[in-house]
A and B are shown apart, each in its own frame.
Chain A
Amino acid sequence: MESLNTAAGKGTFSRRSVLTASGLAVVSAAFLTACGPGGSAVPQASSGGSGAPAKAGGTLRIARPPASKAETLDPASSLSAYEYLGAIYNRLVRLDENGAVQADLAESWETSTDALTWTFHLRKGVLWHDGKPLTAKDVIYTIEHMLDPETKSPQAGVLAPFISASSATAKDDLTVVVALTSPNAEFASLMTGYNCYVIPAGSAATIGKTGIGTGPFKLAAFTPAGPGQIVRNDAYFGDKPKLDAIEFSSIPDTQARVNALLAGQVDLISQTNLDYATSQTVMASSVATVSSVKNAQWYTVPMLNSSPEFKDPNVRLALAHAYNPKDVMQLAVHGNGTIARNNPVPPTEAYYLDYGLDYDPEKSKSLLKKAGHDSLSLDVWTSTYDSVLTPLALAMKGSVEGSGFTLNVKTSAADSYYTDVWMKKPLMTSYWYTGRPVDQLLNQIFRSGSSYNENAYANPDFDKILDQARATVDDAKRKTLYQDAQKFLIDDGGSLTPFFADRLVGLSKKVAGYKEHGFEFDYINIGLAG
């Protein structure tokens, strides 16, 4: 999410542009619903613009929100141009839709009984785009590059606690051995992150521009925050992509991206969760449609545990019981999502525990009393950074009426939301892309002292469960431990998560075979309808 949040969001949505976007939505929705073929249906989950399989060949045009002029093709960097990565690179391993680890460049992998030593066996005959063969050296270099402080890779913080720069060694040309500094039975899943794409040995200085990978597409052109093109790699080791080429264009303004789609200038707009009104406009159009990616957006209301307001777990639990998630989800995203009951782990995850805190205003009042408050008035901060954040804050405010809480919605400028509000204000709205493996999610966002710990949640007992889980090689036992961790976190008021929302993606009716989950975009099967 790192780069997604930053990239997609930060630089690109100004208050004005969102105002503009809603302007478009209102005006054009009014027009189109007046004369269009009844545009009031809720967008349905589907796997592409057109149901037909994609034909071979053709060029797909994707409009993307650029991160900034500092964009790079270095996958380890937090400034990476996200859309290119999955097309031009491969990782050792990747995640499937159910959160299970699958082979990519590594054909197979195993861990020692103490979860300290991992061995990855690389696929034979994989070629880089420049024709050189992939070897263990490249993988080792990639790990070193990710951990180098100068790279400032967000994944470094995830891996650093149990790995060092000298951890990875080559047993032979196609075998990589990683000796961890502390046991981790989930190491493979942590190598599925989108910062973990493998780059050629010695390429740190050049990879940002050359984009030499092993992936299904080769780089033809790339301009930071500008246009770019990738073409099919006929030497790719896996199934060949349907498309001949993909053209990327960078359009920072959300409304401009939607306009480009409606005018038929682009075929898909990436990293853009359409607000409901705009999705209706797109659905009513004759050239474009909306596809929803199930539970792709995790919406949460972090309570800063280090603040005087939320120090007491009773207050956190009281707030978790004070709102009705059904109403909140209906109001904020027109019901397009799944109720989370304050569990931050999405229900599609392999380790998901079906447990949570439900709406109970009486319980909320008694918990609040236990914490020494008859009633509590709090500011909840939001911004137009994402189209759902403000509706979410307003829905929460409405829903807690009748409990002991009163929420006042405060709005901050979108471009300083993550510097001024995030991890600074006691109560705010926030969102992430789902798709992190459970171990990364719990460690990165809830472990004491983690730099993405937006709740400032710190409980050594919780950290201990995570350590135990990492040291447990037995799959069933480890799963139980991650579920224990979820229950512990929820019961400690560690997360306020009303719902997971479906991402509404705008795409042309000509697009076939569009599929995306988590941080995985299917570049092989996407194409144009025959």
Chain B
Amino acid sequence: MLTRFVIPRLGWAVVTILLATLLVFGAMQALPGDAATQILGQNATPEAVATLRRQLGLDQAPVERFISWLGHALSGNFGTSLVSGQPVGPEVGRALVNTAFLAGITIVVGFSLALVLGLVAGLCRDRWPDSLISTLALVGMSIPEFIVATLLVLAFSITIPIFPAVVVAGQNASITELLPAMPLPALSLMFVASAYIIRMMRTSVIDVMETDYVHTARLKGISTTRLVLKHVVPSAILPTLNVVAMNVAWLIGGVVVVESIFNYPGMGSLMIRSVQSRDLPTILLITVIGAMTFVVCNLLADLAATLLNPRLRHPRNAK
């Protein structure tokens, strides 16, 4: 399985990541302005821009700069930020840890809850628990996350001030400073991301409940609990896994809007700042990490699907 399945996928992963960086580099070249003009803004007099370009090494040709970046990146050196002049590794690393922390809470709490809610909705098809859960999920899918975030802030930081509205310490915040500010962004993300998982889980539970083997199991008088845990969940969760994987990758890649609203010092807010200042080395490292997360999450989802698939778990039944 390792050679047949994982190795070729890893090969493709490297190609995917490489293409992603090339695409992002190209896109950044297509954007108007460069780091020098963005940093200087209204003070971008021709002399000042020329001086800064020289100081930043932006006077070289783009192709040259990409090749030189790639060479260094392959040896693990992702360069220094064009804006702060500091190595990009530690800064992006800090942001990644912060985002992973936020994503972790969202995934563990939110996604488990979503799977359970989806299961309940599917089992109670067309009865009131289903209507309630489905409606909520639909609302979650339809409302943009910045509205959800804003409403949460209004409710829980302004009207009833239990949680801070923003992370005041910003990028320097330690994990202990971040903890109290975590619930609201996590809740906003859960609300939005869970909706898809609930819908997907509900649909596949309904599908599985209609299958012959579930009917057979029922006729044989198996208890509902056993039926659900042993037969329904493992089969129903399979198609849902890909949705979960995409959501995990989306969360790790940095959720730009939610992070900005809460001034949360993660990948998303770092990305938006870097794009605005055209800070290529930072953007490229974020791209590498983002692409890597997508590839790995998808790979894991496929692997998990294989492992959970009853046909593969019981090879004798496989055709």
Contacts and interface: CB of A to CB of B under 8 A. Distances in A.
Contacts of B44: 418-419
Interface in B247-275: 256-257, 260-263, 269, 272-273, 275
Interface string B7-25: 0000000000000000000
Interface in B42-89: 42-48, 51-52, 81, 83-86
B139 interface: no
Contacts of B154: 27-28, 31
A156 B22 CA distance: 40
Interface in A1-44: 1-3, 5-7, 9-12, 14, 16-17, 19-20, 23-24, 27-28, 31
Interface residues of A, number: 61
A27 B150 contact: yes
Interface in B75-128: 81, 83-86
A313 interface: no
Interface stretch (A89-97, A253-261, A489-497): A253-261
A225 B91 CA distance: 13
Interface stretch (B160-168, B231-239, B291-299, B305-313): B160-168
A416 B158 contact: no
A14 B272 contact: yes
A310 B9 CA distance: 60
B33 interface: yes
B159 to A, nearest CB: 8
Given A11-B273, A11-B276, A23-B150, A1 B83 contact: no
A149 B161 contact: no
B168 A255 contact: no
B261 A256 contact: yes
B39 A265 contact: no
B38 A10 contact: yes
Contacts of B221: none
Contacts of A16: 146, 256-257, 260, 272
Contacts, number: 171
A263 B38 contact: no
Nearest to B272: A14
B42 A418 contact: yes
Given A23-B150, A223-B172, A263-B164, A256 B263 contact: yes
B255 to A, nearest CB: 12
A293 interface: no
A250 B169 CA distance: 8
A7 B277 CA distance: 11
A16 B261 CA distance: 10
B164 A265 contact: yes
Nearest to A25: B150
A63 B167 CA distance: 11
A68 interface: yes
B168 A227 contact: yes
A416 B33 contact: yes
Nearest to B145: A20
A6 B41 CA distance: 5
A224 interface: yes
Contact of A262 (B146, B158, B170): B158
B153 interface: yes
Contacts of A418: 37, 41-42, 44
Given A265-B165, A415-B276, A420 B33 contact: yes
A428 to B, nearest CB: 13
Nearest to B84: A69
Contact of B257 (A20, A154, A252, A422): A20
Contacts of B86: 69
B150 A263 contact: no
A189 interface: no
A227 B43 contact: no
B45 A451 contact: yes
A285 to B, nearest CB: 7
A256 B273 CA distance: 15
Among A20, A63, A419, the most chain B Cβ lie within 10 Å of the Cβ of A419
Contacts of B168: 61, 63, 227, 249, 251, 260, 265-266
B40 interface: yes
Contacts of B136: none
A152 interface: yes
A150 interface: yes
B263 to A, nearest CB: 5
A297 to B, nearest CB: 15
A11 B262 CA distance: 17
A109 interface: no
Interface string A221-239: 0011111000000000000
B157 A263 contact: yes
A264 interface: yes
A189 B269 CA distance: 40
A476 interface: no
A486 interface: no
Nearest to A454: B42
Nearest to B55: A150
B260 to A, nearest CB: 4
A12 B262 CA distance: 14
A1 B276 contact: no
Contacts of A249: 168-170
Given A1-B42, A78-B48, A451-B46, 15 more contacts: A9-B41, A10-B276, A17-B260, A24-B150, A150-B51, A225-B84, A227-B170, A256-B262, A259-B165, A263-B157, A265-B164, A416-B31, A418-B44, A422-B42, A451-B45
12 contacts: A6-B42, A10-B41, A16-B146, A78-B48, A150-B51, A225-B170, A226-B169, A226-B171, A249-B168, A256-B262, A265-B166, A451-B46
